[in-house]
Amino acid sequence: MIRKLECYEPSTIELVGSHVCSATAKSRDYYRHPAQDVAHDVFYHYPMIVDPDGSLWAEANRYLLSRLNGFVPVKHRTLESIAGDLAHFRRWLLEEEIDFLSISARPRARPTYRYCTYLHDEIRQGKLKARTAKRRMSSLQNFYRWLETEGFKFAHPLWLEDEAALMFRDARGFQRRKSVKSTDLTRSFRVVKSNDDYSEYIDDGGKLRPLPKDEQAALIQALKAIGNTEMTLAFFLALATGARLQTVFTLRRQNFLDEPYKGAVSHRIKVGGGTPVSTKYGKQMVLLVPLFLYRRVQIYMNSERCHQRMKLSKHIYPEDGDQYLFLTRAGQPYYMAENDPFALLYRSPPRGNAVTQFIRQQLKPELYRHGYEFEFRFHDLRATFGMNLLESFVNQMSKAETHLVVKADMTKALMLVRSRMGHTSIRTTEAYLNYREKYRVALDLQSEYEAYLESMLNEVNTDDME
């Protein structure tokens, strides 16, 4: 991993603004000209693939560099994922002593098909998920496609390819169709999607589980017992706004400096693109922080505990308001924004690992100590917020007199929940409504059936069971 990759073209010709670089004693100095093939001159946290002998895998690293050519360069985490897939392929090549450029006349002897077979073996042994295998094969195919554009000639096809029609719904809910390239290699990995209508999870950027009211209460009591102020406020912010981990922990002090409008019950905080607060895909949205929570955060910001952590921080920003709202005991951010100028100081910038560690080492043991053994992740708080919000609307609409009013209000509720949670597609928001209707019905039916079984069992003579 290169923390800071500088891209330029070396030249012996001096241009206006050229920067001279000193070479070795046996060679002459050269000038650095702006690179013409990449969008930016500097990239942070750039991955490279290195062979066991310390040498670079030239073709793969050139391919990674080519991914920086777009007007909007690929994000470093995406590039790191691609590099990881290719590194996995490289290790397999070296173990099997296979030349990735040697394409046999026999299809099953070609590197692409042999690697595909290997991935299927890993799946059967439970070492790999089909989704991961499909992604790795896709990364490999893109690499080979790039090789062909670079002039590499292969005597035989690397796979069988055809066009496939993909049906989907856009952000407004309209049915759309687009053509995609499909190969026999990627099609061989069948990723079975769960069709469990009564699942306890909601698909919202991952499998999320809304916490029932009793588990929410237990969670709050456990946080109170532990006494970690940063975690308590962060959890409440997630429960009250539906913000993801990356958003909660990249909030800055400046977001809580303003005085709310007179009579306001919440305070608006803009996050996403154009702000220092991170969101998924940089999506712009507004968090509505309840006034009671906003005031508690302001009290925390003026506390000795908060100022002590700020003093320990090695990141000195132009303004105090640019500092992260929550810092660890060592003065480091829990989650570092991608546009943070200090990110290059870290080989792997903080990405919420300390939060996960807190949940695993402190919060869950405290819950277990009080008899609660439910599983949860920080991201589940987002689904909990969405369900709580929808429940509030449904309770309000229960007073409606006509079916038409209920239907109109439900549509309004979905639109409002969608806006508050920043959903691109209305289908994601509808999943919360479907969850409420189907999962609750399933629980009621299960409860009734269990009561019926219990009554039947009570009629059995206990003497007959001895």
* Domain termination residue (choose one: 375, 408, 428): 375
pTM, two decimals, is 0.74
The token pair that represents 390 in the structure block: 């929808």
Give tens-digit pLDDT for 229-243.
Answer: 999 999 999 999 999
Inside any domain, residue 431: yes
User: Facing residues of 181 across strands?
Assistant: 163
281 Rama class: left (phi>0) / alpha (psi -120 to 50) / beta: left
* Domain termination residue (choose one: 357, 375, 393): 375
Inside any domain, residue 100: yes
Non-local CB neighbours of 254 within 8 Å, separated by 6+ positions? 276, 319, 321, 322
pLDDT of residue 26: 57
Q: What is the domain-level CATH number for residue 330?
A: 1.10.443
If asked whether residues 136 and 267 sit together in one domain, one would say: no
Tell whether the model's pLDDT for residue 404 goes beyond 50.
no
Tokens 């394409």 belong to residue? 103
pLDDT of residue 123: 94
pLDDT of residue 465: 44
If asked whether residues 388 and 367 sit together in one domain, one would say: no
If asked whether residues 356 and 264 sit together in one domain, one would say: yes
If asked whether residues 225 and 339 sit together in one domain, one would say: yes
Tell whether the model's pLDDT for residue 245 goes beyond 90.
yes
If asked whether residues 71 and 136 sit together in one domain, one would say: yes
| % of the chain beyond a pLDDT of 90 | 50
If asked whether residues 19 and 54 sit together in one domain, one would say: no
pLDDT of residue 334: 97
If asked whether residues 53 and 181 sit together in one domain, one would say: yes
If asked whether residues 51 and 29 sit together in one domain, one would say: no
Query: Which residue did the predictor score with more confidence, 105 or 433?
Result: 105
If asked whether residues 370 and 432 sit together in one domain, one would say: no
Inside any domain, residue 464: no
If asked whether residues 116 and 221 sit together in one domain, one would say: no
Query: Which residue did the predictor score with more confidence, 102 or 17?
Result: 102
* Cα gap 279→339, rounded to integer Å: 12
Give tens-digit pLDDT for 265-274.
Answer: 899 999 998 9
If asked whether residues 237 and 331 sit together in one domain, one would say: yes
In the chain, the number of structural domains is 4
Inside any domain, residue 198: no
Inside any domain, residue 41: no
pLDDT of residue 180: 75
Tell whether the model's pLDDT for residue 17 goes beyond 70.
no
Give residue 354's domain range. 212-375
pLDDT of residue 405: 46
Give tens-digit pLDDT for 289-332.
Answer: 999 999 999 999 999 999 999 999 999 999 999 999 999 999 99
- Report how far apart, in Å, the C-alpha atoms of 245 and of each of 56, 378, 389, 423 are: 36, 7, 19, 16
pLDDT of residue 256: 96
- Report how far apart, in Å, the C-alpha atoms of 43 and of each of 46, 231, 276, 349 are: 6, 33, 19, 14
Inside any domain, residue 112: yes
Return the HEC string of the chain.
Answer: CEEEEECEEEECCCCCCCEEECCCCCCCCEEEEECCCCCCCEEEEECCCECCCCCECHHHHHHHHHCCCCCCCCCHHHHHHHHHHHHHHHHHHHHHCCCCCCCCCCHHHCHHHHHHHHHHHHHHCCCCCHHHHHHHHHHHHHHHHHHHHCCCCCCCCCCCEEEEEEEEECCCCCEEEEEEEEEHHHHCCCCCCCCCCCCCCEECCCEECCCCHHHHHHHHHHHHHHCCHHHHHHHHHHHHHCCCHHHHCCCEHHHHCCCCCCCCCEEEEEECCCCCCCCHHHCCEEEEEEHHHHHHHHHHHCCHHHHHHHHHCCCCCCCHHHCECCECCCCCECECCCCCCCHHHCCCCCECHHHHHHHHHHHHHHHHHCCCCCCCCCCHHHHHHHHHHHHHHHHHHCCCCCHHHHHHHHHHHHHHHHHHHCCCCHHHHHHHHHHHHHHHHHHHHHHHHHHHHHHHHHCCCHHHHC
If asked whether residues 261 and 362 sit together in one domain, one would say: yes
Identify the top-confidence range among 97-101, 428-432, 435-439: 97-101
* Domain termination residue (choose one: 346, 375, 404): 375
Lowest mean pLDDT among 31-40, 275-284, 399-408: 399-408
